[in-house]
Amino acid sequence: MHALQSGDERAAEELVGANAGWMLSVARRYLVDTALAEDCVQDAFMNAFQNIESFEGRSKIKSWLHRILVNAALTKICKNRRHDERPIDNLLPKFDEFDCRIEASWPDIPTPAEILENTQIRNLVADNIHQLPQNYRIVLLLRDIEEMSTAEVSKLLEVTEGTVKIRLHRARAALKKLLEPILRGGK
Amino acid sequence: MNSTTKHLLHVLKGTVIRHFPFIKTCQEYDAFLHDYVDNSLPAAQRRRFQFHLSICPECREFLAAYKRTMELDKLVHAEAIASFHADAPESLKQAILDARQS
């Protein structure tokens, strides 16, 4: 770390070599597009190099880079916001005149391992996840995949904790609806 | 069970849930569902929600599919990370180092 902070070229190469791979995988979760994800990793490293003096070693370097990367990904998403997203309302739970849930019966739900045995279905599942509107997909990623707390997500996205909770539930419910044909028959 | 019996049971359930004190409707409980799944509901609310689940097959089955969706989402992301090449392309690494120099 001292070598990095003093501008050592070899240390910079080692930092990039050891971390660019996992950072690219994480960036692809958020940005989907590989070219955008590569740009994002590059932005994150530039940010890290510029702020290397502020790294005090209280956290692990990987956690520090991860935080910088997620911020870079969110910034990139804001800049490249899609305008062709499908509305989420028709994917949300439905209720009848008694406020009772309208839900077709689920006699048997295959396990995730059973569903993902088929490569085509595996790709279909991934495609459906990417169909979620970005505002919802990001909350789902941060809470369920990155396992951040509601408070952490709220701070990162600059929205209230209530908004995070609402978006999280809607995202999970909408994803369930999108994946329903697969969950019901593996098709 | 024929469709008439199903409908009658549904109307009965709807009427009981709507008019019985302390039981919230499915729509009211929907707002708490993620807290229930994340184990962040206070104990008393959790018990009431569990009672609702015990009498409401639609919520029970919705919840099972909701949880299975979360598991599937996590597994797909975990596999994507594992299967994606562990190393970044050399061109990207070089671009990062070049940008650092400039």
Interchain contact, B87 vs A20, CB within 8 Å: yes
Query: What pLDDT, on a 0 to 100 scale, did the predictor assign at position A125?
Result: 85
Residues 31-90 of B with CB under 8 A from A: 31, 33-35, 56-59, 61-62, 64-66, 68-77, 79-81, 84-89
Cα A42 to the chain's mean position, in Å?
18
Number of domains in chain B: 1
Stretch A123-141: mean pLDDT: 89
Q: Is B87 helix (H, G, I), strand (E, B) or coil?
A: coil
Report ipTM for this prediction.
0.84
Helix axis angle for A161-185 and A150-157, nearest 10°, is 110
Considering only CB atoms, A29 lies closest to which of B69, B70, B77, namely B77
Give B-chain residues touching A43 at CB under 8 angstroms.
none
Give the chain A residue nearest B83 (alpha carbons).
A25
Nearest chain B residue to A104 by CA: give it. B58
Q: Is residue A53 part of a domain?
A: yes
φ, ψ of residue A79 to 5 degrees: the values are: -70, -30
Residues A26 and A62: their CA atoms lie apart, in Å, by 12
Where does a domain end: A61, A79, A97? A79
Is B10 a member of any domain? no
CATH of the domain at A75: 1.10.1740.10
Which ranges constitute the DSSP H helices of chain A? Answer: 2-5, 9-31, 34-50, 61-79, 112-115, 119-130, 134-140, 150-157, 161-185
Host domain of residue B70: 22-101
Rounded to the nearest angstrom, the minimum Cα separation between B27 and chain A is 5
Do residue A69 and residue A93 come from a single domain? Answer: no
- Between residues 18 and 57 of chain A, which touch chain B (CB distance below 8 Å)? 20-26, 28-29, 38, 41-42, 45-46, 49
Which tens digit of pLDDT belongs to each residue from B3-23? 788 778 777 877 777 777 677
Q: Please, are residues B26 and B58 in contact by the beta-carbon 8 Å criterion? A: yes
In this structure, of A4-13, A77-86, A93-102, B78-87, the range with the lowest mean pLDDT score is B78-87
pLDDT number for residue B35: 92
Residue A70 forms part of a structural domain: yes
Last residue of a domain, one of A50, A79, A108: A79
Residue B20 in contact with partner chain A when CB distance is under 8 A: no
pTM (global) more than 0.95: no
Alpha carbons B80 and B94: distance in angstroms, whole number:
24
Model confidence at A42: pLDDT above 90? yes
A84 lies in a domain?
no
Q: Total structural domains in chain A?
A: 2
Dig out the tokens for A33 from the structure: 């597009």
